[in-house]
Amino acid sequence: MSVKKKFKGLSDKAVAWLFIGPSVFLLLAINIYPLIYAIRMSFTNFYANKIGREPQFVGLKNYIKVLNKEAIWEKMQVTANFMFWTLLLQAVIGLGLALLLNRKFKGNELLTTLIVLPMMLSPAVVGVFWTYLYNPQVGLFNYVVNFFYDFGSFDMIGSSELAPWSIVIVDTWMWTPFTMLICLAGLRSVPNYLYEAAEVDRASKWQQFIYITLPSVLPFLLLALLFRGIENFKMFDMVVELTSGGPGSATELASINLKREAFEKWKTGYSSAFAVILFVTIFGFGNVYVKVMNKIKER
């Protein structure tokens, strides 16, 4: 009775806070506090494994060090290459598959389920089993490639030219279904009367695709690419299992390097600065991207 009374007197605002309070608390505790702490650490020479050594304020030294380090720029370049090719391939193949599956044919549902399967696997597991598929002696990948054209024995993971492609191929294999599903949702939301009107106007299939399908599906595709872009910027597990960042540092993405600096070398201050730079980069790109996406939507 008394509880009922108590809640009866709560304003709408108070009830709203009651609902969102736990989420806000968790957000502050799990996301915001660590972020502020990392920013604070980034201005110190803190090493988490050096017990008893007090961190000292070093100003912008860590940021300058990160930005001036050639190796960091190499890792960023590797990450950019990885992102560019995976996003491009996933956009093209994902949209193609969505267009295919948007048609009605026998076995459509079974095919959709089969295509979506890779996405449901753990990235670490995918990394491990692709190392076997890429094995030059017994791997299926070499066999299939050589079936079409005899390249002889080649080592996808051991060659600096091929290793970056090896991770692009695996990521594309795994995540194209995601792009496909989002595009498929977009395609199914296009009203049929648009195509009927186009038919009446004698628009060709190509014109229908360019003027109806593509503009309708583009916001969905861009959204899918935004998600994939963010994910691939922080890609870690699959690549570590597949190549460990090698050969040398040919596939060492920024996130792998960050992990090594932070939790193997224990350069906490330095790696915090690196993490902040990565955060600002992805946050900046993300914001610009969302603005562009909204503009496209408004058109």
Partner 1 sequence: MILLFVSLFAFSANSNAKSITLGWAAWDPANALQELTKEFTAETGIDVNFEFVPWPNFADRMLNELNNKGKTFDLLIGDSQWIGAGAVYGHYVKLNDFFDKEGISMNDFSPATVYAYSTWPKGSENYYALPAMGDALAWAYRKDWFDRPELKSEFKKKHGYDLGVPASWDQLYDMCTFFQGREIDGQKRYGAAINTERGSEGITMGVTAAMYAWGMEYENPNKPYDMEGYFNSPQAVEAVEFYRKLYEGCAPPGHSDAYMVANLDAYKSGQVAFQMNWYAFWPGVSKEDSDGRVSGFFANPKQNVAAATLGGQGISVVKYSDKQDLALEYIKWFARPDVQQKWWDLGGYSCHNDVLNSPSFPTSTVYAQGFLDSMGIVKDFWQEPTFVELMLPMQEAIHDYVVNGKGTAKGALDKIIEEWVEVFEADGKL
In the complex with partner 1, which residue's Cβ is closer, 53 or 205?
53
CA 43, CA 276: separation in Å to the nearest integer? 11
22 binds partner 1 (CB under 8 A): no
Residues 56-75 that bind partner 1 (CB under 8 A): none
Q: How many alpha carbons fall within 13 Å on the CB side of residue 167?
A: 33
In the complex with partner 1, which residue's Cβ is closer, 157 or 238?
157
In the complex with partner 1, which residue's Cβ is closer, 43 or 178?
43
Stretch that binds partner 1, among 21-29, 46-54, 82-90, 193-201 (CB under 8 A): 46-54
List the beta bridge partners of residue 44. Answer: 57
Chain-centre distance for alpha carbon 188: 25
Residues 254-293 that bind partner 1 (CB under 8 A): 260, 263-267
Q: Which of 243, 255, 271, 272 binds partner 1 (CB under 8 A)?
A: 243
List the beta bridge partners of residue 57. Answer: 44
In the complex with partner 1, which residue's Cβ is closer, 70 or 201?
70
**Size of site (CB under 8 A) for partner 1:** 35
What is the pattern of x (binds partner 1, CB under 8 A) and - over residues 200-239? ----------------------------------------
Q: How far is the CB of 33 from partner 1 (least distance, A)?
A: 19
Stretch that binds partner 1, among 2-10, 34-42, 81-89, 152-160 (CB under 8 A): 152-160
252 binds partner 1 (CB under 8 A): yes
153 binds partner 1 (CB under 8 A): yes
In the complex with partner 1, which residue's Cβ is closer, 86 or 251?
251
Stretch that binds partner 1, among 8-16, 50-58, 174-182, 201-209 (CB under 8 A): 50-58
Q: How many alpha carbons fall within 13 Å on the CB side of residue 282?
A: 21
What is the pattern of x (binds partner 1, CB under 8 A) and - over residues 118-137? -------------x--xxxx
Q: Which residue has the tokens 């007197």?
A: 9
199 binds partner 1 (CB under 8 A): no
CA 224, CA 221: separation in Å to the nearest integer? 5
In the complex with partner 1, which residue's Cβ is closer, 69 or 289?
69
> To 10 degrees, the CA torsion angle through 152, 90, 87, 118?
-80
In the complex with partner 1, which residue's Cβ is closer, 131 or 216?
131
Q: Which of 55, 118, 219, 247 binds partner 1 (CB under 8 A)?
A: 247
Q: Footprint of partner 1 on this chain (CB under 8 A)?
A: 45, 47-52, 131, 134-137, 139, 153, 155, 157-160, 240, 243-250, 252, 260, 263-267
